[in-house]
Chain A
Amino acid sequence: MLGQVAGQLTSQSITTGSIYALVGVGFVILFRATGVVNFAQGEFMVLGAYFFYGFKVELHQNSLVAILAALIAMIALGIVVNMVIFYRLVGASLFTVVIATFGLSILLETAGLIVWGPDTRELPNIFSNNTLVSPLGIPLTTLDIVTIVVAIVLIVLLEIILRTTRTGVRMRAVADSTLLAALQRVHIPRFAGLAWAIASVCSAIAGVALALQSAVDPVNIGQLGLLIFPVVIIGGVDSIIGALVGGLIVATIQTLVAYYLNGIWVDPICYGMLLAFLLFRPRGIFGTREIVRV
């Protein structure tokens, strides 16, 4: 049994870790299928939370309708982003694509500010914030459990789809070689759009989960998007298991640093680890591909 502080920190690490893992999986799927390294992940999280807030609070829908409507909106956003921006940049240099995701991130941030303003928005408590169970002295609220279960179910589901369905196999084919897939009559833009939709949904669910844990905070949630890089580089940029492990590692560091040191050191320490991995194990723990060599 863990003590009270240790239990609380563990609980927080696991919950946040599963949220990061979900975003990381979306990132990995997008990177593998399109080669896009997405720095706009955080804004996708923010917008997902905003859409949910809009449907739930502003349009008074019930939670299930609100989450479904938000996800549909995010799928549409992902597809539009692919068609308008990234479809035109296929084959452009990695740098161009990265800068385009920065531009996209600023564009989405501006749109969010115009529609919803800069203020933090409170979501009603959909799931109880009281401790439901405490296995091994780790207190977990209903919300924590729902978050963890949803994240893990989604990750496993995505892995199963990629492994077993024909669409999944073709998507992995695109990830392996875009040219060969095209030569075998795979419609590349359609699969890129699908990858964007998946990444968008993963981020949106993570954004809603973070917003339920605290609030719809555009600045905070947007910045958390950048922690996805340590997550996927440590785990391995093309590995789904890697994203899971990387998510847990980064969330644990974040929780411990914020508790014992100061929140402002979370980013430098996580990025320090990222650099250490780039220098000494660029494939990450579970990866097969390197992001730093051409």
Chain B
Amino acid sequence: MGRKESKILVFKLGNQLWGIDLKYVREVVKVKEYTKVPMAADHVLGVFNLRGQIVVLLDISKILSIGRAGSDNAIILSYNGEVIGVSVDAVIGVLSVGEEEILPPPHEAGEYVKGIIRHREELIGLLDTEKTLKAIERSEFL
């Protein structure tokens, strides 16, 4: 067995580095256009056409309270049989981290941070994907 490793997709949101467990990630795409959804919550940017499938595009910076300019980069997640797009500012790459490298998050990091990874000089916040998406699903932010 050896040590337990997880693969993390690292991306940029505003000027912060974030990570998401690669097991949720289906692909990374550029979303050139999307259609705004009136009456939807703030964190819903809109819907877009992903090869014939209509996919919702989320801006999780609203949930994590991060300021950002926005870009056309998006991570496509597969969660609970649903395909979800998450808008990010840049996709950095995939990081392999041992379990012991994931530090418990400080209290002030907020409830959607599962852990903190120190990589070289930088800190990466590991997103609690399930918690975040479940909260969105239950529309706690509506």
Are A and B bound to each other?
no
